[in-house]
Amino acid sequence: MTRCIGLPLLAATLLSSTPVAAQLATRPAIFPAPAELTLGTDTMTLGRRVTLIAAAGTDAATVVLAGQILRTAGVETITAARRAERAPTQPQIVLGLADTAIIRTALAGTTPDAAPEGYTLTITPATNTITLAGHDADGLFHAVQTLRQLIQRSTLPALVIRDHPAMPVRGTIEGFYGKPWTMAERTRHLDFLATVKANTYVYSPKDDPYARDRWREAYPAETLTQLGTLAAAATRNHVDFVYAISPGPSICFSAPADLQALRTKFDALRAIGIHRFYVALDDIEYKKWNCDADQAAFGPSSAAAAGEAQARLLNAVQADLTRRDPKAPPLIMVPTEYYDAKDSPYKAALRDDLDPKVVVQWTGTDVVPPAISVPDAKAATKAFGRKTLLWDNYPVNDYAQTTGRLLMAPYARREAGLAGELTGILSNPMNQEAPSRAAVTGVLAFAWNDKDYDAERTWHWLARELAGGDAQATAALLTFFDTQHMAPTFGSQPWQEQALASTHCSPASARRWPTAMRKYARRRSPT
């Protein structure tokens, strides 16, 4: 069977009443795959009336989101209550932090997940109760996103989910060249990130003049207001908004005035609700000083001298962040040698001189690597003197081999076990925000649970999500994805080939693309 013929069949199977579909209904498909899911033998039906009980201190916005998700699933009446009943007359949903008394009682002896961002979700038909317990506020928010997926089916199986992310940092970096996303696209992107349990968005468009060429200048008041609104949207979605500045093309590393310019820029952003910062030193000429003062301070220009100069500047910025807030998250940087893991005088200087708290990004074995293995990441750890944060240049399409293309192949050829050697993964998406999701969903599913990640199943799940569960639209989207099944590198051969099955697709399948893509566009923010 060719893959194109198989796509409509798979989509139909997901929604049909065949024995295969019955098996899927018994064990629900959750994406990202949870760390632990234990099934029971009984089932319960949600119905049109439920009781919602929130433990004291539960984030009000999360409670509101849970109510919105329930209504979207067909619940017509939601009754708020302060305590759970032992024998409720209608389904009850109990949510809150795991250390509250009401949640401990509702879990009925189940040991809650205790990892950062972890959550425990139980469905107990015997008491007609669904319990969502977060280890912290982020974990509870993730539990609500899992609930959103579970209640898309009318019959819910008895189960216990204990889940937490494998990698601490999971998200995207808007780090491409060319036309940046609009503020509206960024807001939709943040809404999307929430649904796949991401926790980081880095604002780093190369064509923002106030972040690169004119980095010393203050943002216009209107732009600053827009960035503040965007940061608030990130907070609402439990996503860290990280502001990246790129002073490398013109900075004088030894100049007190330039260090003060960074402080001033960050102070203005801190005032509008942005509290995590990033200094990007990629794509610059680092073997030539921008000022005579650096020649006097660090000696003749060289890769090693550049590493020393950058480390001194970044250490001063990190110290300033800690002085202002001892609990502030660490500074992130991307080095000039951000690719490969070969030792060099530059990397040695960073390894020896850079504050160990500063997070270092790394793009893998190349700028656009065809694969990344655990030994590759171990080599990077050794070269930089710390575990790195992977900047994965997929599905970015701002270089020559990608001109005029959408890159929508599944996220593949990253080795299970990388979570043990990375602090996280940030995907660099395309200039086109919505189409980026086909690959970005895979990046985030891998970062959440790399050991149980299935590239093809995640790809298929996203299509079904975007199609609203419609089998024909799902099949049409998968066919469209296949025509854009491409992952180039800087070399002559792509690491994933294009359109593996499209030549076998029927005209009828092709005719369904316009309808499917209209649904795709309408569902850009699937919450």
CB atoms within 10 A of CB 149: 16
Name 327's Cβ contacts closer than 8 Å, sequence gap at least 6.
Answer: none
Q: How far apart are the first and last CA of the chain?
A: 35
119-124, strands of its sheet edge to edge: 36-45, 155-163, 119-124, 129-134, 92-97, 49-54, 77-81
3-state SS of 108-145 is CCCCCCCCCCCEEEEEEHHHCEEEEEECCHHHHHHHHH
Query: Do residues 97 and 135 lie in contact, with contact meaning Cβ atoms separated by under 8 Å?
Result: yes
DSSP string for residues in 157-180:
EEEEEEE--SSSEEEEEE--SSSP
The answer to whether 183 touches 233, Cβ cutoff 8 Å, is no
Q: How many CB atoms lie within 10 A of CB 488?
A: 24
Nearest C-alpha neighbor of 311 from the set 254, 363, 257, 366: 254
Which tokens in the block code for residue 66? 């849970």
Contact of 513 with 480, CB cutoff 8 Å:
yes
Cα 389–390–391 angle (5° rounding)?
A: 115
Chain-centroid distance of CA 238 in Å reads: 11
Helices (H), 326-372: 345-353
Of 224, 282, 283, 289, nearest in space to 251 by CA: 289
DSSP-H helix ranges across 288-418: 292-298, 303-324, 345-353, 374-384
For residue 494, is the peptide bond before it cis, meaning its omega torsion is within 30 degrees of 0?
A: no
Annotated active-site residue 283? The verdict is yes
CA distance 61 to 237: 10
Which of 496, 368, 499 minimizes the C-alpha distance to 427?
368
Residue 522 CB contacts under 8 Å (≥ 6 apart), including other chains: none
User: Out of 99, 283, 454, 470, which one is annotated catalytic?
Assistant: 283
> DSSP 3-state assignment of 492?
coil
Contact 177, 393 (CB under 8 A): no
User: Encoding tokens for residue 97?
Assistant: 């932090």
Q: Active-site residues: which are they?
A: 283
